[in-house]
């Protein structure tokens, strides 16, 4: 066999193995990944509070059916978070190999999530495309608060936070003024939303904003980056902890898939954030 044929054969085998990994192995995987972040403006009384971020569940996408969701809920509860945030995209539209799961079924499973500071949701663009009122009603009927451009005060011992939910940047009003109404400058603010593209417009007074939507691009290619990120800012807000102009953003890569059931070097995860101020 010539060197050229050997090279072609090897490349084909590598491509086959990588394809199996990207379409079958990695999308099917799941973990709760702990991430510690430091934020100067975070109240010391809230140091070490752990926030579980269940982003982009896309229930019904390949490997992400109801049984998978039940397993996810059990693993999140076993990690004992203080607060659970659900930043939208609970349903799917048109994922190859997927099967639609009604938001009512999704909410019936998610109601089993437990955290002493509560479980809160905002809607994503896929939820809006289905029917925002239906999705919100499905969650509120199960006792899960949906914070669309509004806030609530959270207390845990001496820790007090104002949690702000901001509606989707693409499809919701994303009315920041309404969401921040009545919040004093002295209050510590934690915000969450679906799409991170709203981040540049948010006020400096928010200690941390949590988002999803991008799936971390679903695919990361070494030396190249993330070929497709559903953001006007390209890879700027694709994943992880971003600090700009004194403001902090954390973007979770999420759990499900959209359009194509592929993930490569961006494994599905529930992000468990441990947040503290500089000590």
What per-residue confidence (pLDDT) applies to 26?
A: 80
| Burial class for 186, CB neighbours closer than 10 Å (0-12, 13-18, 19+) | exposed
| Average pLDDT by stretches of 10, the chain with 279 residues | 54 49 74 96 95 98 96 98 98 88 98 98 98 98 98 96 98 98 95 98 97 96 94 97 96 94 94 89
What per-residue confidence (pLDDT) applies to 19?
A: 54
What per-residue confidence (pLDDT) applies to 97?
A: 86
What per-residue confidence (pLDDT) applies to 94?
A: 78
Full set of structural domains in the chain with CATH: 30-276 (3.60.21.10)
């Amino acid at each position: 066999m010539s060197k050229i044929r050997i090279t072609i054969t090897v490349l084909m085998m590598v491509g086959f193995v990588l394809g199996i990994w990207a379409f079958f192995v990695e999308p099917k995987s799941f973990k709760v990944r702990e991430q510690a972040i430091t934020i100067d403006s975070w109240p010391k009384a809230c140091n070490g509070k752990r926030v579980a971020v269940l982003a982009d569940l896309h229930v019904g996408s390949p490997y992400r059916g109801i049984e998978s969701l039940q397993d996810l809920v059990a693993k999140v509860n076993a990690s004992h978070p203080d607060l659970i945030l659900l930043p939208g995209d609970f349903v799917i539209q048109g994922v190859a190999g997927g099967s639609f799961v009604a938001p009512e079924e999704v909410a019936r499973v998610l109601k089993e999530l437990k955290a002493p500071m509560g479980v809160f949701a905002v809607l994503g663009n896929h939820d809006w495309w289905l029917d925002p009122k239906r999705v919100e009603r499905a969650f509120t009927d199960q006792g899960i608060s949906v914070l669309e451009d509004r806030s609530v005060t959270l207390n845990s011992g001496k820790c007090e936070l104002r949690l702000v939910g901001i509606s989707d940047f693409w499809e919701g009003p994303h009315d920041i003024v309404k969401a921040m109404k009545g919040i004093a400058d002295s209050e510590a603010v934690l915000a969450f939303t679906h799409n991170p593209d709203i981040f540049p417009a948010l006020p400096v007074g928010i200690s941390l904003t949590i988002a999803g939507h991008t799936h971390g691009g679903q695919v990361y290619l070494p030396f190249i980056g993330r070929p497709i990120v559903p953001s006007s800012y390209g890879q700027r807000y694709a994943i992880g902890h971003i600090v700009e102009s004194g403001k902090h953003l954390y973007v979770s890569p999420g759990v499900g898939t959209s359009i194509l059931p592929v993930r490569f070097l961006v494994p599905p995860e529930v992000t468990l954030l441990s947040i503290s101020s500089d000590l």
